[in-house]
Structure 1
Amino acid sequence: MKYAKNILETIGNTPLVQLNSVTKEIDALVLAKVETFNPGNSVKDRMALKMIEDAEADGRLKPGGTIIEGTSGNTGMGLALAAIVKGYKCIFVISDKQSKEKMDILRAVGAEVIVCPTNVEPEDPRSYYSVSKRLGAETPNSWYVNQYDNPSNAIAHYEQTGPEIWEQTEGKITHFVVGVGTGGTVSGTAKFLKEQNPDIKIWGVDTYGSVFKKYHETGVFDENEIYPYITEGIGEDILPKNVDFSLIDGFTKVTDKDAAVYTRKIAKEEGIFVGNSAGSAIKGLLQLKEHFTKDDVVVVLFHDHGSRYVGKMFNDDWMRDRGFLEEEIKTAADLINNHKERVLVSAQTEELISHAIERMKEYKISQLPVKDVNGFVGSVDETDLLHHYISDKNIANKPIKEIMGKPYPIVKKTAKIDEISKLISKENEAVLVDLENGNHHIITKYDIISAI
């Protein structure tokens, strides 16, 4: 009989799958190393088990111990599966930009999950780097994994991922393209492949807000490049020891929007349901297309599974809120499509200014059209209210008509976006849309910005 003695024996030997649609602009044969076939649905299963086994061997991890790690989710999953089989506890520290699905999955496999803010410096005591280190120092009988600097991370890919790709391509691979985060996958795989054939080119995919590309090209760690980004699993605001820049031939950067859009394309055009970093990898691959010829064999690695991003890249509302959805917006009707079911919030001329202030706070809006029995006759916005309040603290009990500005222009549903944008200025904060049924809706500067 053929069977695995436990789930850990199913790690590795993931398939290479030819890509046909999303890479049609590229002449070369493009093969995806689909790491979602690992039991934890990501490439991180490989190094998670290797790091645990090496820690067991040298006594860093003792029987009944607690595994502590800062993770974006996938390493935590791999560590948790191994911990279940081997009898360890897990505490994982994760940043709040990671998907809810990742957090829920980690809790589902028995881990304690601590969520930390993303938008803080790595040295900040609230960062997930700092919190995981502190827990490692404070928790009895614990082992802090530190995947960023743990050499077992890269060794796992030197021993497994590299040899698998070499064997599966019969040594014909010419390029390896992969997103770079902790650096273990790219460095370990690259080291093995270049030992077999030094001419194999290794390309790292980076994201905007990360330091890798510029550091590789200039040797400068530019803190001005560091800012929050949405893409998960790749890019860093630190330089992990596992990133061996000498093995990487070059980097290309991919935007958050392109990463999200191409993640969805892979699912719809190839039938491969993978995560956000795979979208980055494919867009990066397309950005590098001039480097490939028809005789090349290009392997691109897909890190993790799309199920961890159902509430994000695979959710239309999430995509639309960030301006990532590829929708053609031409008219007023298109601009209000996302919120057309909401009732227009307005105020009456005789209402007190305090009512307008409360309404703005309740609905989290910055402006209100003002009506009387004849229709729209004025408007108020938060800037005007602030200026009036500073000059007169008793303003709250005055009627709105005493401070209201001009009424907002009214356009038809068919009005073009360029026509509408010209109507919005410092003096005029919004435009009303006539819905032709006696109702109106509002278009603000935010709607215009979101559309472009």
Structure 2
Amino acid sequence: MRGEGIVNSSLDLIGNTPLVNLGKITEENNLKCTLLGKVEAFSAGGSVKDRIALRMILEAEKEGRLIRGVSTIIEPTSGNTGIGLCLAAARLGYKVIITLPEKMSLEKERMMTALGARIIRTPTDAPSESADSNIGVARRLVHEIENAVMLDQYSNINNALAHEKGTAVEIIRDIQATRGENAIADVLFAGVGTGGTITGLARGLRKHNKSQNAKNDYKDGLLVVGVDPVGSSLALPASLNRIEDGQSASYAIEGIGYDFIPAGLDRNEVDYWIKTSDDESFDCAHQLIRSEGLLIGGSAGSCLAGALKYLRTTEEGRKISQDPSKTVVLIFADSIRNYITKDWILN
């Protein structure tokens, strides 16, 4: 835990983020359940992706794929994984090249540049399988540059394991420290991108809840709801991903949603999917910032928007919302720091 002595390096500041009671949001929305936000902005690099970046590097070192002072890390990212990789690489001695879609914020680019990375921007509208996409460009560079390694967050098993073995353990620890040794998280809401966060958390929390003989009707004691932006293709059933009249096929929210199914996303772990629009997401981000004083990013707004929509519009959600015994956890993936120049901050 932080505050218990001198830490050895910035890498020791990754993770161990606070679980915050969202008391004002609960009150403003007439909820009786306990609503908790896991605020990943407090991690060293400012996001949930710090965890996977460090684990992917350390495991690749154990496997002999990465050698400090020799290897170059190349990674396609929407920004947060890139920042985490750059932070760890700066401390451990790696060169980094990041391929980043054009829509991603200038703040992310500048932070990675400050940490010593080379940034290559790619067209936002390039399909993921295209040679021009950030994934396609990264794959080409790996073949062209000597001693280059792509850790591939989309399929790397350490993406989910970082959350199963780390984030889930923290959530359990903090809930039990406050609410007693038999307390559990009943419901999990998370925005979905590469899928590592929701997959790993679902597995870790379910293992714990099952061992506790959780007294609810959910799969292994946990209800998992995935939040996917309108315009993305991750949700099930696939009919949810249809673009209705008046909707845009593109979305401004960063860090969640894709036009392909990442190998690291186990959709069998997700019980229910909610689609959210940019407007809903940014409205809820402002609500979190102004009501709770949490300086979170846009995808945290998506997570809250999805949670409130589920709690208001589904039969099970309405039951949960009025049940004081239920503990609901939301993952707030990153910080407002990444989006200061974005229009949604001001409007």
Provide TM-score, normalisation by structure 2. 0.87
Equivalent AA in structure 2 for residue 240 of structure 1: P
Residue of structure 2 equivalent to 1:7: 10
Equivalent AA in structure 1 for residue 196 of structure 2: G
> Identity, % of aligned pairs?
38
Q: Distance in 1 between matches of 2:41 and 2:15?
A: 10
Within the candidate set 194, 199, 203, 1:182 is matched to 194
Shift of 1:73: 0.9
Q: Is the aligned partner of 1:196 residue 2:220?
A: no
Considering only CA atoms, is the larger Rg found in Structure 1 or Structure 2?
1
Q: Secondary structure at the match of 2:64?
A: coil
- Structure with the larger RCO, 1 or 2 (CA within 8 Å, 6+ apart): 2
Shift of 1:116: 0.4
Within the candidate set 257, 262, 268, 2:279 is matched to 257
1:11-410 matches, cutoff 5 A: 11-24=14-27, 25=29, 26-64=31-69, 65-170=71-176, 171-197=183-209, 198-213=220-235, 216-218=236-238, 227-290=249-312, 291=317, 292=320, 293-316=323-346, 319=347
Q: Secondary structure at the match of 2:221?
A: coil
Equivalent AA in structure 1 for residue 82 of structure 2: G
Q: Secondary structure at the match of 2:279?
A: helix
Equivalent AA in structure 2 for residue 138 of structure 1: E
Provide TM-score, normalisation by structure 1. 0.67
Q: Secondary structure at the match of 2:153?
A: coil
Q: Distance in 2 between matches of 1:314 and 1:21?
A: 22
Equivalent AA in structure 2 for residue 177 of structure 1: F
Shift of 1:295: 1.6
Q: Distance in 2 between matches of 1:246 and 1:217?
A: 12
Q: Secondary structure at the match of 1:113?
A: strand
2:234 and 2:241 in contact (8 A); partners too: no
Q: Secondary structure at the match of 2:139?
A: helix
Deviations 1:152-181 (A, max 9, x none): 111111110011111211232100111011
Deviations 1:295-348 (A, max 9, x none): 2100101100101111115543xx4xxxxxxxxxxxxxxxxxxxxxxxxxxxxx
Compared CA separation, residues 223 and 139, structure 1 to 2 (3 A) = farther
1:204 and 1:251 in contact (8 A); partners too: yes
Q: Secondary structure at the match of 1:300?
A: strand
Shift of 1:244: 0.7
Shift of 1:70: 0.5
Q: Secondary structure at the match of 1:94?
A: strand
Which runs of no fewer than 5 residues in structure 1 stay unpaired?
Answer: 320-452
Compared CA separation, residues 221 and 90, structure 1 to 2 (3 A) = farther
Compared CA separation, residues 300 and 223, structure 1 to 2 (3 A) = closer
Q: Distance in 2 between matches of 1:13 and 1:178?
A: 18
Q: Secondary structure at the match of 1:169?
A: helix
Compared CA separation, residues 151 and 46, structure 1 to 2 (3 A) = same
2:231 and 2:241 in contact (8 A); partners too: no
1:158 and 1:191 in contact (8 A); partners too: yes
Shift of 1:143: 0.8
2:232 and 2:241 in contact (8 A); partners too: no
Compared CA separation, residues 199 and 261, structure 1 to 2 (3 A) = same
Which runs of no fewer than 5 residues in structure 2 stay unpaired?
Answer: 177-182, 210-219
Residue of structure 1 equivalent to 2:215: none
Deviations 1:250-301 (A, max 9, x none): 1101101111121122111110000010000111110011511222100101
Shift of 1:78: 0.6
